[in-house]
């Protein structure tokens, strides 16, 4: 139920931080990280995950497969 | 002369609202015709030119906007807001923005508090520092909270420092009120197109209304917002400059149209900069092999726009933001650590006194040039030549050839001297030793020049320059640049007439590709 940031790709530009509707993103050790407990994949807020849409480096904000998709949870 | 006529037509008593003034500048076509030999050169490149007094008052000490002031004042940049809301093909976000900052050198990211402390520390040490800019990396208005907090802190502590802001314009219409409230009087918008068909090849996407928008639609929204923002600034009486990146084959011809569009909306200066593109930058253009323009191509485009409005030619793509004046980069003195420990005494009076002195110096430079120009009145010739100048600032020829990191280029004709640009070069001489391979690079960079004026030069480079057809001139060491240039031109004309020199058209020159790396 969450996105994650591939830290080796992150330029720490901070663009994603203010866009997250759940305030799930913060700076940590020079890159940005997503708190998977807070991330709702933007469902209910926006059509697209905001961090993905704004991030200038492709494939940096990606779905974290460790967690079940938010939608699946909602359906369950 | 022109200056006279202009200042008479707008009398001091009837101060017009700025939007009228801006409109007037916008409508003013070019520089008129020359009346006698001593025509003032166009726009910002030589004093007041055709600017209204109110506007001139605002820009005369601005090292970014007034070429003359550029010799005497400095600005600095702070990076507080690296986020961006659009993607440009000439930018790689792993580096600083290629447009407004130095590619390859990642700026230190500061909090608004750190940034304002740094600015005050620098301003207290370097009284020439009169302008603070927030620009790249990123778009300051994609991070409005940090940007305006920084402005607020500086505005409160040091109201004499001019604040300026560079933006891609996407968010601009939303922030006009804030820009006004902190007395930001200079805004630069980067506008590379007014036609989405052209824009789609420059901007792959924008982030807008919580969506990533791609293709033509992205550029359509962007250009709409840019034009709206520009109009709102003009209406609010805030000076607005437009930057454009010249991308051969993509927007080079189109920029003439951009020039017209921004002029009619009240932009007071248009600065066309060359694309800087190399594969190692990792940008889309760098990787696709998109080249930047040559010196001649850039100048031809600038010339073709010049009849329309004030052009700015001294932009060194933010070399001016080095802490300190031309060439002397002092940023290491002002690291965040050092600044946080410093005991800062902001000396507004001392700064004012110093700036008064600079003013005197500037008047002297201008007077020397005028006096020399009088000697040219008798001369009539179509000849135009370019000369390169090694300078550390103060309007004088005061740099050693081997120490020059850049050359200033002046165009000389019977109408006088006109500043037409900068050429960055690799350090030819490091630690006093000339390096064999860099000399050809320097020669290529100034290959379109007839002469190079220096304070000093060694025997070997002298010979090589001569072999390349460039006259190394050190007899004007420490003299005023423009005065010397005019004198040189008069001599040159004399020699051509007597047959002592044969005037040959010079070739094109390289614009330095790649990052300027601060020492
Ligand atoms: S997907 Fe949405 S909720 Fe999750 S971190 Fe990104 S912006 Fe925040
Ligand atoms: S937008 Fe992308 S690059 Fe920028 S901080 Fe967020 S994850 Fe990192």
**What's the pLDDT score for residue B361?**
77
Question: Is B283 within 8 Å of chain A by CB?
Answer: no
Q: Which chain B residue's Cα is nearest to A18?
A: B143
What's the pLDDT band for B118 if we cut at 50, 70, 90? confident
| B9 inside domain | no
Same domain, yes or no: B384 and B267: no
pLDDT attached to residue B127: 76
Segments forming the whole domain that contains residue A68: 3-75
Query: Does the distance separating the beta carbons of A47 and B93 come in below 8 Å?
Result: no
B78 C-alpha vs ligand 2 centroid, how far in Å?
A: 20
Q: Residue B297: which of B448, B90, B195, B407 has the closest Cα?
A: B448
Query: Dihedral of the CA atoms B277, B279, B280, B283 (nearest 10)?
Result: 70
Q: Across residues B446-468, what is the average pLDDT?
A: 90
Of the ranges B218-222, B388-392, B402-406, the best mean pLDDT one? B218-222
- Ligand 2 center from residue A34 Cα (angstroms): 10
Question: Do B436 and B512 belong together in one domain?
Answer: yes
Residue B460 has pLDDT above 90, yes or no: no
Those residues of chain A that have pLDDT short of 70 are 1, 68-76
Instruction: State the ligand closest to the CA atom of A19.
Output: 1
Q: Which of B1-10, B241-250, B407-416 has the highest mean pLDDT?
A: B241-250
Kindly state whether residues B328 and B423 are assigned to the same domain: no
pLDDT digits 0-9 by tens, B371-388: 777 776 666 677 888 999
Predicted pLDDT of residue B60: 62
pLDDT at residue B266 tops 50: yes
**How do residues B31-49 score in pLDDT, each as one tens digit?**
222 232 232 223 333 345 5
Q: Which residue in the block uniquely carries the two structure tokens 């080079």?
A: B252
Q: Is the CB of A62 under 6 A from ligand 2?
A: no
Q: Which two tokens stand for residue B49?
A: 């030119």
**Distance, CA of B239 to CA of B268 (rounded, Å):** 7
Contact check, Cβ <8 Å, B142/A53: no
Give mean pLDDT, residues B338-343: 73
Tell whether B62 is covered by a domain: yes
pLDDT for residue B213: 95
Residue B85's pLDDT is what?
93
A13 interfaces chain B, CB cutoff of 8 Å: yes
N-term to C-term CA, chain B: 44
> Are residues B148 and B91 both part of a single domain?
yes
In the reported structure, the alpha carbon of residue B427 is separated from the centroid of ligand 2 by a whole-number distance in angstroms of 36
pLDDT above 70: percentage of residues in chain B = 72
Answer with the residue of higher pLDDT: B337 or B223.
Answer: B223
Average pLDDT taken over every residue of chain B: 75
Find the A43 Cα to ligand 2 centroid distance in Å.
20
Exposure of B193 in the CB half-sphere (CA atoms within 13 A)? 21
pLDDT at B3 (0 to 100): 41
User: How many helices (H) and strands (E) would you count in chain B?
Assistant: 17, 16
- Is residue B393 assigned to a domain? yes
Q: Which residue has the tokens 């009284």?
A: B127
Ligand 2: which of A2, A10, A58, A62 to mutate, judged by most atoms within 8 Å of the beta carbon?
A: A10
**Which atom of ligand 1 is the closest one to the Cα of A40?**
3
> Is B81 a domain residue?
yes
In the predicted structure, residue B68 carries a pLDDT above the cut 70: no
Interatomic CA distance for residues B293 and B276, integer angstroms? 9
Q: How many CB atoms lie within 10 A of CB B24?
A: 16
Name the residue at shortest CA distance from atom 1 of ligand 1: A41
Give yes or no: residues B221 and B78 share one domain: yes
- Looking up tokens 């030549």, which residue turns up? B385
Give Cα separations from B345 to B132, B158, B335, B351, B458 (angstroms): 18, 11, 17, 12, 44
**CA–centroid distance for B107 within its chain:** 20
* B216 belongs to a structural domain: yes
Atom of ligand 2 nearest to the CA of A13: 4
The chain B residue lying nearest A46, using CA atoms, is B210
* Chain A residues touching residue B138 (CB < 8 angstroms): 13, 15
Q: CATH number of the domain that A29 lies in?
A: 3.30.70.20
| Domain co-membership, B414 together with B297 | no
Residue nearest to atom 7 of ligand 2 (CA): A10
Given the structure tokens 């709702």, which residue do they identify?
A40
Domain that includes residue B165, residue range: 25-34+43-341
Looking at the structure, tell me whether residues B165 and B298 fall in a common domain. Answer: yes
Residue-level pLDDT at B441: 79
Q: Which residue, judged by its Cα, is nearest atom 2 of ligand 1? A: A42
| Domains of chain B: total | 2
Mean pLDDT to the nearest integer, B468-474: 91
Chain B residues near residue A56 by CB distance under 8 angstroms:
84, 87, 93
Q: What is the CATH number of the domain that holds B323?
A: 3.20.20.70
With CB atoms and an 8 Å threshold, state whether A48 touches B210: yes
Query: Which pLDDT score is estimated for B325?
Result: 43
For ligand 1, say whether the CB of A1 is within 6 Å of any of its atoms. Answer: no
- Which CATH number goes with the domain that contains B418? 3.30.420.130
Chain B residues within 8 A of A18 when measuring between CB atoms: 83, 143, 145
Q: How many A×B Cβ pairs under 8 Å?
A: 49
Q: Report pLDDT for B387.
A: 93
Rounded to 10°, the helix B18-27/B215-236 angle is 120
Chain A residues in contact with B214 (beta carbon < 8 A): none
Residues B307, B453, single domain; the answer is no
Per-residue model confidence (pLDDT) at position B43: 34
Question: What integer pLDDT is reported at residue B19 of this predicted model?
Answer: 37
Lowest-confidence segment of B56-60, B233-237, B358-362, B365-369 by average pLDDT: B56-60
Judge whether A27 is closer than 8 Å to chain B, CB to CB.
no
Question: Does residue B358 form part of some domain?
Answer: no
pLDDT category at B183 given cuts 50, 70, 90 is confident
Domain shared by B336 and B417, yes or no? no
State residue B362's pLDDT score: 73
How buried is B211 (Cβ within 10 angstroms: 0-12 exposed, 13-18 middle, 19+ buried)? middle
In this structure, what token pair is assigned to residue B147?
Answer: 């940007």
Taking the centre of ligand 1 as the mean of its atom positions, its distance from the CA of residue A30, in whole angstroms, is 19
Tell me what pLDDT residue B151 has. Answer: 93
**Does one domain contain both B412 and B296?**
no
pLDDT of residue B324: 42
pLDDT: which is higher, B194 or B348: B194
Question: Is the minimum CB–CB distance between A48 and chain B shorter than 8 Å?
Answer: yes
Q: According to the model, what pLDDT value does residue A69 have?
A: 66
**pLDDT tens digit string along B481-501?**
888 888 898 888 888 888 877
Find the mean pLDDT for residues B451-460. Answer: 90
How many domains are contained in chain A? 1
Number of Cβ within 10 Å of residue B397's Cβ equals 25
Distance from the Cα of A68 to chain B's closest Cα (Å) equals 25
In a domain, B19, yes or no: no
**DSSP letter (8 states) at residue A27:** E
Residue B359: inside a domain: no
Q: Number of helices and strands (H, E) in chain A?
A: 2, 4
For residue A35 and ligand 1, the question of a CB distance below 6 A is answered with no
- Percent of chain A clearing pLDDT 90 (strictly above): 53
Task: Specify whether B318 is located in the same domain as B466.
Answer: no
- Per-residue confidence at B174, pLDDT binned at 50, 70, 90? very high
Mean pLDDT of B142-168: 90
Tell me, yes or no, whether B161 and B219 share the same domain: yes
């Amino acid at each position: 139920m969450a996105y994650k940031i591939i830290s080796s790709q992150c330029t720490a530009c901070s663009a994603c931080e203010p866009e997250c509707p759940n305030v799930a993103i913060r700076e940590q050790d020079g890159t940005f990280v997503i708190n998977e407990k807070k991330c709702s994949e933007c469902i209910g807020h926006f059509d697209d995950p905001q961090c993905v849409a704004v991030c200038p480096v492709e494939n940096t904000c990606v779905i974290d497969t460790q967690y079940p998709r938010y939608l699946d949870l909602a359906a369950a | 002369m022109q200056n006279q006529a202009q200042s008479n037509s707008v009398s001091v008593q009837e101060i017009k609202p700025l939007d009228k003034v801006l409109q007037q500048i916008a409508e003013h076509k070019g520089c008129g015709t020359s009346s006698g030999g001593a025509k003032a050169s166009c726009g910002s490149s030589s004093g007041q030119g055709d600017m209204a007094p109110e506007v001139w008052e605002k820009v005369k000490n601005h090292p970014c906007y007034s070429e003359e002031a550029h010799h005497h004042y400095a600005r600095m940049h702070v990076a507080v807001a690296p986020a961006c809301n659009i993607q440009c093909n000439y930018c790689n976000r792993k580096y600083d923005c290629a447009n407004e900052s130095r590619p390859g050198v990642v700026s230190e990211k500061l909090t608004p508090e750190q940034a304002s402390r740094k600015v005050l520390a620098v301003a207290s040490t370097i009284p020439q520092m009169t302008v603070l800019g927030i620009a790249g990396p990123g778009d300051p208005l994609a991070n409005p909270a940090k940007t305006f907090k920084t402005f607020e802190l500086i505005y409160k502590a040091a109201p004499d420092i001019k604040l300026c802001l560079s933006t891609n314009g996407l968010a601009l219409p939303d922030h006009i009120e804030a820009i006004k409230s902190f007395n930001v009087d200079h805004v630069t918008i980067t506008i590379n197109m007014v036609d989405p068909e052209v824009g789609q090849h420059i901007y792959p996407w924008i982030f807008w209304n919580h969506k990533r928008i791609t293709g033509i639609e992205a550029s359509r929204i962007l250009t709409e917002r840019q034009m709206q923002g520009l109009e709102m600034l003009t209406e609010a009486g805030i000076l607005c400059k437009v930057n454009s990146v010249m991308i051969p084959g993509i927007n080079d011809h189109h920029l003439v149209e951009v020039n017209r569009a921004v002029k009619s909306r009240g932009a007071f200066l248009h600065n066309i900069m060359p694309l800087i593109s190399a594969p190692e930058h990792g940008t889309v253009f760098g990787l696709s092999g998109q080249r930047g323009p040559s010196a001649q191509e850039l100048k031809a485009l600038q010339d073709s726009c010049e009849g329309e409005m004030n052009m700015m030619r001294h932009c060194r793509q933010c070399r001016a933001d080095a802490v300190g004046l031309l060439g002397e980069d002092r940023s290491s003195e002002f690291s965040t650590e050092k600044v946080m420990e410093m005991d800062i005494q902001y000396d507004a009076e001392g700064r004012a006194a110093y700036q008064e002195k600079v003013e005197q110096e500037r008047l002297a430079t201008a007077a020397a040039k005028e006096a020399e120009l009088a000697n040219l009145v008798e001369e009539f010739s179509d000849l135009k030549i370019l000369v390169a100048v090694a300078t550390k600032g103060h309007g004088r020829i005061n740099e050693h050839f081997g120490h020059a990191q850049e050359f200033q280029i002046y165009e000389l004709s019977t109408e006088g001297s006109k500043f037409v640009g900068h050429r960055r070069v690799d350090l030819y001489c490091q630690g006093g030793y000339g390096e064999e391979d860099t000399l050809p690079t320097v020669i290529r960079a100034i290959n379109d020049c007839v002469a190079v004026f220096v304070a000093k030069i060694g025997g070997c480079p002298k010979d090589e320059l001569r072999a390349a057809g460039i006259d190394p001139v050190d007899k004007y060491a420490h003299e005023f640049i423009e005065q010397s240039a005019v004198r040189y031109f008069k001599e040159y004309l004399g020699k051509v007439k007597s047959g002592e020199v044969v005037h040959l058209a010079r070739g094109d020159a390289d614009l330095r590709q790649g990052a300027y790396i601060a020492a």
